[in-house]
Chains A and B, each alone.
Chain A
């Protein structure tokens, strides 16, 4: 057990702090609508990229910073402390498309796609889920038929975040109708400006439109846009998913300390039964429980990082970590709404703190549904970690 930071790590922290101080507008406030956030993100993320912070986890040979896990944590901690916005519009590019193309792409593909991801000139989306392929992702039906030098794509994707603003799409599709479920899939890199692609924004639970349905009608994709080999899509998709659930989450988790701080300040200023929520017996207990749960999330994260450093992969705590923190967030946001009292009946500008608790509460459901729902996580934990027998219901093959 050793929790101290090294001199190099402390110097790194100073560097991050100085950069933020210089670059984050002093009057920065979290944008409230998707459109504002989009506009701000485009500029902010380019700025991050120009200073080499975008590809912080990318290897040096691909233009990244090759930062250690500890440095990544320090970076995210400092960004959270300053309440600087997280990577938003380029999340899929930097965290999912980049690593997947780096690992499975040809040399030409790496050369073509990685630089504009890193410079954040090209925005990516993840076209995996379909109306009948959610948890059971291998059931993807969107078909791509190979005709000489190109594929013809037909089908429908859904819940595709950022598809309406994206330049490129990671498309998981079926190229062999006769092969077994997991074997007939391939992975294409699709130009979103191609004819025959129609993204239609879906209004989300918060009232904003961030994800889409995407229709493909006789959309032509050059053969050279096939990632790796034909029929290997499922394997590559698993690479993408493992990055979705890997250390990229740490950035997210570190932010929840701000949620707790906001929760406590809201509680201090809202009366319940004539006393601030912090002094109300029930709320005081719940706030303290939230504090404890958040601390424990940090310990689980540190344990996971230790396992990765010791064994190259997270241990048991890695499997349970997502289940733990996603439900922690749900409780925290629910408490946020509760703490604000009667304002919980309002929304938007009429509600306390511009409706941020309403939005946070609604958004928190994404954590227990997306990136492997809680039920899927429990299937995985019980079958893979505890070795319990398979029944009629399945944990998705190889999905971790």
Chain B
């Protein structure tokens, strides 16, 4: 029995962290936070050179053939850096094509997603529901409808859409004729926007239903949140050791210590849950649907609490725009709402576990 990443996987994580510390320091992130549709094409290019976008796709589709577990570690590091790139969205969209597309569809779309040339996004709000309607038209399909906020829609040139085809929800791919209205994201480091389809041509992926594709997306966001939370805890503990009041470090006050100990507990529990969720979707484990709901329900609430405590422990300095804490807080809070919040996923647990 082994319930942990392998030493090689941890090496990958450490390399990713070093790379991002050099290539994506907070000063780089801040270049994009005042620009609704801005994101770092430079960083994206460098990540593509390392093969990150293709990490978990098979080699014959232009990827590196690694496990989804490896990508979850990368997601964590990108979260830690609050990297201003559409990695999560494009990864999730690619994974849906990989899990639902025919061989021909995979070959047509995935190599360019895996190389980073094409940026895709996944058009869902909660993982179990179609957001627009699809209808047959001629020998193809068209999409109609407008969605709520979709992560990195302004950056995307390919849309993997959860649409209702008259019988049920399934995945469609649309490339042309998609209207995106950029919106101001609570998370300033990434783009977000409404997506409207007014008869855009779309092609259904061959495997119907939204599962297991949507499940992968939920597992991915949990992995990202854990990375952001780790950064918050590290920053907070560091600060508590150097900030002095009443003649001693605030980290020597028990009220502060106990908050940090609780934060670590929330983080380790979340890490375990996200880890298991990532592993279970990789192999389509029997309990994957439940594992993902367990992880998202817990991470959403526990890590949002952790992030709030991070701000509290910093005091007034964290209340400034200049301080980076709000960037992490915004990422966590928007991930909390992404692909279903805690209450949504608890309801899923209740259904799946037959409560």
Report if B261 contacts A (CB, 8 A).
yes
A293: B residues at CB distance < 8 A:
269, 298
Q: State whether A296 and B261 are in contact (beta carbons under 8 Å apart), knowing that A306-B2, A306-B3, A317-B272 are contacts in the complex.
A: no
Distance of A77 from chain B, by nearest CB (Å): 13
Partner of B265 from A284, A288, A324 at Cβ < 8 Å:
A324
- In the complex the two chains form, is A295's CB within 8 Å of B291's CB? yes
Distance of A30 from chain B, by nearest CB (Å): 24
Binary CB contact string for chain B from 261 to 291 against chain A (1 if under 8 A, 0 otherwise): 1101100110011011001000000000011
A287: B residues at CB distance < 8 A:
350, 355
Report if B154 contacts A (CB, 8 A).
no
Report if B22 contacts A (CB, 8 A).
no
Q: Which residue of B lies closest to A318 (CB)?
A: B268
Interface residues on B, range: 35 or more
Partner of B355 from A3, A70, A284, A323 at Cβ < 8 Å:
A284
B249: A residues at CB distance < 8 A:
389
Report if A274 contacts B (CB, 8 A).
no
Report if A307 contacts B (CB, 8 A).
yes
Instruction: Mark out the residues of chain B between 229 and 259 whose CB falls within 8 Å of any chain A CB in the assembled complex.
Output: 237, 240-241, 248-249, 251-254, 256-258
Q: State whether A317 and B241 are in contact (beta carbons under 8 Å apart), knowing that A288-B355, A302-B3, A310-B4 are contacts in the complex.
A: no
A296: B residues at CB distance < 8 A:
269, 272-273, 294, 298
Partner of B252 from A303, A316, A388 at Cβ < 8 Å:
A388
Instruction: Mark out the residues of chain B between 69 and 83 whose CB falls within 8 Å of any chain A CB in the assembled complex.
Output: 69
State which of B37-45, B103-111, B161-169, B341-349 sits at the interface with chain A. B341-349
Binary CB contact string for chain A from 35 to 59 against chain B (1 if under 8 A, 0 otherwise): 0000000000000000000000000
B347: A residues at CB distance < 8 A:
284-285, 288
Distance of B17 from chain A, by nearest CB (Å): 17
Report if B260 contacts A (CB, 8 A).
yes
Distance, CA A375 to CA B248, complexed state (A): 21
- In the complex the two chains form, is A320's CB within 8 Å of B264's CB? yes
Distance of A227 from chain B, by nearest CB (Å): 33
B297: A residues at CB distance < 8 A:
288-289, 292
Partner of B251 from A5, A381, A389 at Cβ < 8 Å:
A389
A320: B residues at CB distance < 8 A:
261, 264-265, 268-269
- In the complex the two chains form, is B355's CB within 8 Å of A382's CB? no
Distance of B308 from chain A, by nearest CB (Å): 18
Distance of B109 from chain A, by nearest CB (Å): 29
Q: Which residues of A contact B (CB under 8 A)?
A: 1-5, 70, 264, 267, 278, 284-285, 287-289, 291-293, 295-296, 299-300, 302-303, 305-307, 309-310, 316-317, 320, 323-324, 375, 377-379, 381-383, 385-391, 393
Q: Which residues of B contact A (CB under 8 A)?
A: 1-6, 69, 237, 240-241, 248-249, 251-254, 256-258, 260-262, 264-265, 268-269, 272-273, 275-276, 279, 290-291, 293-294, 297-298, 343, 346-347, 349-350, 353, 355
Q: A1-B69, A292-B298, A295-B291 are in contact. List 9 more A-B contacts (CB 8 A).
A: A284-B355, A287-B350, A288-B347, A288-B355, A295-B273, A296-B269, A305-B1, A320-B261, A377-B261
